[in-house]
Structure 1
Amino acid sequence: MTPASDGSWLTAIVDVVVGLMDLIGAPGAGIAIALENLFPPLPSEVILPMAGFAAARGSFTIVEALAWTTAGSIVGAFLLYGIGAWLGLSRLRALVKRMPLLHVEDVDRTVAWFSRHGGKAVFFGRMIPIFRSLISIPAGVTRMPMWRFGILTFAGSLVWNTTFVLAGYLLGDSWHVVETYADVLQYVVIVGTLAAVTWFVVARVRQLRGRRGPDADPA
């Protein structure tokens, strides 16, 4: 395959992934996806179409591409699950106590929500940029049964991976077109997240001011 050379910040990453797939085939795509789980800025939306393109060119089969990338997703997810399990609720509560604007009750409410909706969060979270990696940590913190976490991660990752691998397979030399549309989705997620964080900070500062009086310093 010929790596992208448009001067974008993704060029170096693309070169590495291309090198891995040229060197060891479909397992290279699986390794890249496992690393993407541990380092979310790595773009699965670029790695997966490239794997599909490689399959279209005969470097390996599309079944191998899907199998290895999904395996990579599961391995990376379980590594983050392990980090969450190591952190645990007691350490998380202790960390939150030291953080401004956060309360231990916030952790308890989040854990309660995850206990009710964790299955849907893990499944659908695997299809949302950035959160597709991070969702594994609360699953570990709450000690979601590993068999359930594995099945939900496999199912959600298979849907996501199949969509992008097939796009690269069908688009051929134009596989990079997928990046344009994926970037839009990622920007929407980032803007939505920033808006939610801003709303939370403003609401919490107002709450603290209400408790301390109008002349209190929110800091």
Structure 2
Amino acid sequence: MTTAAPTDHGFTGLTGWAADLLLSVGDVGIGLLVLVEVVVPPIPSEAILPFAGYLTQTGSLSLVGLIVWSTVGAWLGGLVYYAAGRALGMERAVRMVAATRLITREDLDRGVTWFERHGRPSVLFGRMIPGVRSVISIPAGAARMGVVTFSVLTLVGSGLWNGMLIGVGAALGTEHERLEQYLGHLDLVVYGALGVAVAVLVGRRVHEARAARSATRSSQASPPPPSSPSTSSTPSRGTSS
């Protein structure tokens, strides 16, 4: 494993941060980033892996090492959600992950639907679909898919996806400006996605608070239900003549 000084890359922003980590830690760094990307979206492998591939052409990192470590990172990240689904069951695991606000309930439901529709192949191909690859492990664990089967499908799918993205960067060779332009656009997309996520989170909290206040006012304004007329159990006394 080879490393270079973090200041050698010349990138800035999110890509520059990833470059610093990769050049400081080496091949293992990409595995760490991919692991975090699977567990805590939306760290973008679409930005990190092509840059890592580019670094292999400068002699800073190993092509084989990057593919291996990125695939191991994706597998370990997948095991986190697999274990949650297996231990808690589908609904409880989905509720728990949705409560963290790291992944939306819509994305979780989409992953569940994908798994229910396609079964085992969804674990393989889901690793290549953004928004699905992070959550497909939950229904796989809840369905008690064998850990060996899950691991093989995850390793193969993640290896193909990561290898393709790393290969894109490697194919650019030393064309630093073209890669920087590509990653710069992705930086803007990622920052925009983060901004939208924050706005959605704030809007959801405001909507929930308003709904709770409205429900409270409605319950206070509603008159109590009329009580049923009580009947006397004492028989009426007649008058004597």
The one-letter code of the counterpart of 2:67 is L
Q: Distance in 2 between matches of 1:73 and 1:90?
A: 23
1:186-197 to 2 correspondence within 5 Å? none
Q: 1:143 to 1:21 in 2, by over 3 A?
A: same
The one-letter code of the counterpart of 1:145 is G
CA contact (8 A) 2:172 2:179 kept: yes
Tell me what 2:56 maps to. Answer: 55
CA contact (8 A) 2:115 2:136 kept: no
CA contact (8 A) 1:49 1:176 kept: no
Percent of paired sites with the same residue: 36
Gaps of 5+ in 2: 1-7, 97-108, 194-241
Larger Rg: 2
Tell me what 1:175 maps to. Answer: 179
Tell me what 2:30 maps to. Answer: 29
1:151-166 to 2 correspondence within 5 Å? 151-166=152-167
Q: 1:164 to 1:141 in 2, by over 3 A?
A: same
The one-letter code of the counterpart of 1:169 is A
Compute the TM-score of the two structures, normalised by the length of structure 2. Answer: 0.60
Give the aligned length.
164
1:104-119 to 2 correspondence within 5 Å? 114=115, 117-119=118-120
Q: Distance in 1 between matches of 2:147 and 2:54?
A: 33
Large movers: runs of 4+ above 4 Å: 92-95, 176-181
Q: Distance in 1 between matches of 2:63 and 2:94?
A: 45
CA RMSD of aligned residues (A): 2.8
Tell me what 2:127 maps to. Answer: 126
Q: 1:131 to 1:52 in 2, by over 3 A?
A: same
Tell me what 1:145 maps to. Answer: 146
CA contact (8 A) 1:27 1:68 kept: yes
Compute the TM-score of the two structures, normalised by the length of structure 1. Answer: 0.65
Q: How far off its partner does 1:31 sit?
A: 0.4
**Which of the two has greater helix per residue?**
1
The one-letter code of the counterpart of 1:130 is G
